[in-house]
Amino acid sequence: MSLADISGPACPACVAGPLAAERGRPAAAADEIQLAVPGVHCAACISTIERGLMRRDGVADARVNLTLRRVRVRHHGRETPESLTEALKGLGYEAMPLDMIALSATEADRASRDLLMRLGVAFFAMMNVMLLSVAVWSGAEDATRDVFHWVSAAIALPTVAFAGQPFFRSAWASLRAGRLGMDVPISLALILACGMSLSETAMSGEHAYFDAAVMLTFFLLGGRYLDHRTRAVARSAAQELAALEVRRALRLAGAGTETVAVADLRPGDRVRVLPGARMPVDGTVEDGASELDRSLLTGESLPARIAAGGAVSAGEVNLTGALTVRVTAAGRDSSLARMADLVAVAESARSRYASLADRAARAYAPLVHTLAAAALVGWFWVTGELRTALNIASAVLIITCPCALGLAVPAVVTAASGRLFRRGLLIKDGTALERLAEVDTVVFDKTGTLTLGTPRPVNLDELPEGALPVAAALAAGSAHPLARAVATAAEERGVVPALLTGVKEVAGHGVDGLFDGVPVRLGRADWVGASAGARTSTWLRIGTSAPVEIAFADRPRPGAADLVQRLTETRRSVMLLSGDVAPAVRDFADSLGLADWRAGLRPEEKAAIVEALVAEGRRVLMVGDGLNDTAALAAATVSISPASALDAARVASDIVLLGEGLAPVGEALGLARVARRRILENFWISGAYNVVAIPLALMGVVTPLIAAAAMSLSSITVTLNALRLRP
């Protein structure tokens, strides 16, 4: 199925580094363990995992949940999260214990089941009351009608009292906060419809609105459930991305090292950071020399050199040599945690955004309440009968009840986020689509966002004869990204590496060895004996001949050029903000046809530029991946980050791009516009029904039949309109 698209190279499992085997508390019951398995995506995966786990003696039952990408294992008390993680790794799936998020996950499950149960009860009641109502509409009279009304009341009143609780609770909460949300008119209409119908039934009246009350409850609960479901799936996926980054560190203790969780490190501890690992903490280097990839923090694409005494920050990647680092700040004080605080502040600012539904409710609630009050006063004035006036006022409230309005947004958002999820975009925030639709300015980060952050050699063809096999052989001896790029490129060209002896890596400098007795070196310019240029490059020297330069350029993400072109064509302004040096940024911007770029920016400058744009009234989409983008991501109207981004950046952004290519971003912009149009259309549709029904209600000619017809027709039209969504 098409979900397979997104579980390609950039699926969360592959982004993950070494995984946690942390001892977890059993999640739900004593003999039950839940594990997140982000890599599972098809029927065959389900069979492999379930059968593989069931074969273990200690396992009583294993069940995969594909929607949430989890496996729930019941066992005979002998299994531990570690043993199961190990077993799953043997089956080819990365897994991690869910104990830290299991609590919130089970709560979400419970809420979802609770809503579904209320929905079922409301459906049962609606069908039965409707059957009885059909009899009344088709002319049941006198005692029969009264009996039918009483039976309806006996079904409807408990149903509304039970199934309507989510609305009553949220209405009460918003009233106490002094706001008029959508739930206040809903609750009022429900209560009035029931109360009025009950008193009419007691007086053998003609009209009872029990059917309308239960139908309203059912449709609105349907909208609520859709909304909840979409959010639960997005939340669980986002939590897994975060859980994949459970990070550990090697702490030096006594003679050896021990593996500890990053959270347990204290200032003053000494940790060992191996080549290829990410810095777990802020600290100073005590021993060793290496190079650091700071691109996630600063946007610089060139690795920076580090030796004893230098300062490192959490999030940097150690490239060539092992380092011993003395911790200066860990946990809540580290730069990563400070960034998370910054994100929390930004998110509280973000919640000030009024969604379309809120704006509709704000215009709508006072209007219907005024109309109903006017009907009450007007009819009492004219007829002098309180009963008639009350009946008509309640009819106005019932007929205007925002049944379709309650479905208008969730139906569209569910359809759109499902479609985008299949294309590899995870919508984390309910209003992100609406905000995305309004975007007129797109701001990109360079390294890791528009580019893949992996360099490629560009001048291999210009190398002298015989140089490439030597370079390839030397490069194979290092984990440095530039060396890896040379090795990969040589392999792609079918170059057979030369036979070298005594190859060794000199941390922070390069690799050297002997080729037919001649010393050869591949590494930094000053080490090889050349003078460094402006470009990202490594140098190769064979014997005593002059060093040759191998230059590198970062590769754009697939679809980057198309995306920029598409954005320009749709007359959105596109801007490139990078922390990298000017020449690199200029070359890259030229290659994509981007005129508006700034280089050498610090994180606060990026955020300031984005804030200035927003203050100008522009709707800014920020796409970025690094720590240096986090503040800008939070300041923008709406933000996207790739799954390879740093945790903090992903938390700050509204949408996560799961795949490697950038093409889905363009599609998302298009789809968001369509979705917004559908939402507005839905508002107009439900408004149109009201325009027809309100005058009838005010004139006092609305019957329960008209109310029921208007309500179900408008709800169904709105849902169908939402399903019409096409990018």
Partner 1 sequence: MNVLIVLIPVSLGLGLLGLAGFLWTLKARQFDDPEGDASRILQDDWDDRPAP
Give the integer Cα–Cα distance in Å for 398 and 213. Answer: 8
For the four alpha carbons of 401, 402, 403 and 404, in that order, the dihedral sign comes to: positive
For residues 471 and 497, the answer to whether their CB atoms sit within 8 Å is no
Q: What is the 3-state secondary structure (H, E, C) of 183-230?
A: HHHHHHHHHHHHHHHHHHHHCCCCCCCHHHHHHHHHHHHHHHHHHHHH
Provide the binding-site residues for partner 1, judged by CB under 8 A: 1, 3, 42-44, 46-47, 50-51, 61, 63-68, 109, 113, 116-117, 120-121, 124, 127-128, 131-132, 144, 147, 151, 155
The residue among 163 and 648 lying less far from partner 1, judged by its C-beta, is: 163
Which tokens sit at 690?
């009201």
Residue 35: which H helix or E strand, with range? strand 32-36
Q: How far is the CB of 160 from partner 1 (least distance, A)?
A: 16
Report the residue number, 67 or 370, with the smaller CB distance to partner 1.
67
- Concerning whether 445 is annotated as a catalytic residue, the answer is yes
Q: Which is nearer to partner 1, 68 or 220 (CB)?
A: 68
CA distances from 495 to 467, 470, 472, 490, 544 (A): 11, 10, 8, 5, 24
Measured from the CB of residue 270, what is the shortest distance to partner 1 in angstroms?
A: 46
Q: What is the DSSP letter of 2?
A: G
Closest approach, Cβ 209 to partner 1, in A, equals 20
Specify the DSSP class assigned to residue 278.
B
Instruction: Determine phi and psi for 453, rounding to 5 degrees.
Output: 80, 5
C-beta closer to partner 1: residue 115 or 412? 115
Closer residue to partner 1 in complex, CB, 142/616: 142
The half-sphere exposure of 57 on its side-chain side, counting CA atoms within 13 A, is 1
Q: What type of residue sits at position 609?
A: I
DSSP per residue, 315-375: T-EE-SS-EEEEEEE-GGGSHHHHHHHHHHHHHHHHTTPPPHHHHHHHHHHHHHHHHHHHH
Distance CA 373, CA 698 (A): 11
User: What amino acid occupies position 359?
Assistant: R
In whole angstroms, the minimum distance from the beta carbon of 411 to partner 1 comes to 17
Closer residue to partner 1 (CB): 109 or 440: 109
Residue 24 has a CB neighbour count (10 Å cut-off) of 20
CB of 113 to partner 1, least distance (A): 6
In the bound complex, what is the minimum distance in angstroms from residue 66's beta carbon to partner 1? 3
d(CA 209, CA 709) in angstroms, rounded, equals 12
Per annotation, catalytic residue among 445, 580, 629, 654? 445
CA pair distance 339, 653, nearest whole angstrom: 13
Question: Taking the complex as a whole, how short is the minimal distance between the CB of residue 147 and partner 1, in angstroms?
Answer: 7
Q: Select 65 or 573, whichever has its Cβ closest to partner 1.
A: 65
Smallest separation, CB 12 to partner 1 (Å): 16
The CA R_g of the chain, rounded to the nearest whole Å, is 32
CB closer to partner 1, 124 vs 353: 124
Q: Map residue 513 onto helix, strand or coil.
A: strand
Catalytic positions are 445
